[in-house]
Chains A and B, each alone.
Chain A
Amino acid sequence: MLAANEIEKAIADALPGADVEVVDTRGTGDHFRARVVYEGFEGKTMVEQHQMVYAPVRSLLESGELHALALETYTPEQWEARKGVAK
């Protein structure tokens, strides 16, 4: 069973300066959702952005310990624009 902050740390260590928020969506320690805001996403496709976030947790996904990690990735600019929109 994983804790949200372990995953948060793994991603944040790999993407210096990123704002990472991870939520355990089922409370079962294997399904998580991550929102990552990172300057390094600038100019990358969505596929490349997700690959960058998956990379540090790849072994957890491969072992099955981490079953699912739903991702939302934003550049700081995209995140600022999104925050301005009432959802």
Chain B
Amino acid sequence: MTEELKKRIDEAIASHRVVIFMKGTPHFPMCGFSRSAVETLQAAGATEVAAFNVLQDPELREGIKVYSNWPTIPQVYIDGKFIGGSDILRELHERGELARLVRG
């Protein structure tokens, strides 16, 4: 991964509280797992979600997997911390922990 891309991801994560790297957009998700992750965030009370569409950015699509050491999309960061993909998000939501993270 290039230094430039790493910096771009660092900045994206630092400048928004809730960040999702996904396929498609929150209004038009292009994959069921990305859709589920957005819906779970919204259900947990996240009103402002910064979404990055990896389908429009091939470099980001591969780079974020290396950055997070996580081989799949979607990926969610809250307050600069890697939270996980759609399974972990759902599990945290079921336990009531996601709303707490989202509230900060």
B residues within 8 A CB of A50?
A: 70, 84-85, 87-88
Given contacts A46-B88, A71-B87, A72-B87, A51 and B69 within 8 Å (CB-CB): yes
Are A61 and B82 closer than 8 Å at their CB atoms? Answer: no
Which range holds the interface residue count of chain B? 10 to 19
Within the assembled complex, what's the spacing in Å between the Cα atoms of A50 and B82? Answer: 13
One of A46, A51, A58 near B91 (C-beta < 8 A): A46
In the assembled complex, the Cα of A58 lies from the Cα of B62 at a distance in Å of 13
**A72 to B86, alpha carbons, bound, how many Å?**
11
Chain B nearest Cβ from A36, distance in angstroms: 12
Q: Assess whether A54 is in contact with B84, with CB atoms less than 8 Å apart.
A: no
Q: CA–CA, A81 to B7, complex, Å? A: 43
Q: Is the CB of B72 within 8 A of A47?
A: no
What total of chain A residues lie within 8 Å of the partner, measured CB to CB? 13
Residues of B within 8 A of A14 (CB): none
Of B33, B71, B82, which is within 8 A of A47 by CB? Answer: B82
Closest-by-CB residue of B relative to A72 is B87
A-facing residues in B46-104 (Cβ within 8 Å): 65, 69-72, 82-88, 91-92
CA distance A68 to B92 in the complex (A): 20
Complex Cα–Cα for A47 and B33 (A): 17
Contact of B88 among A47, A58, A61, A68 (CB under 8 A): A47
What would be 22 A-B contacts, judged by CB atoms less than 8 Å apart?
Answer: A46-B84, A46-B88, A46-B92, A47-B70, A47-B82, A47-B88, A50-B70, A50-B84, A50-B87, A51-B69, A54-B70, A54-B71, A54-B72, A58-B71, A61-B72, A62-B65, A62-B71, A69-B72, A70-B86, A70-B87, A71-B87, A72-B87
Q: Which residues of B contact A (CB under 8 A)?
A: 33, 65, 69-72, 82-88, 91-92
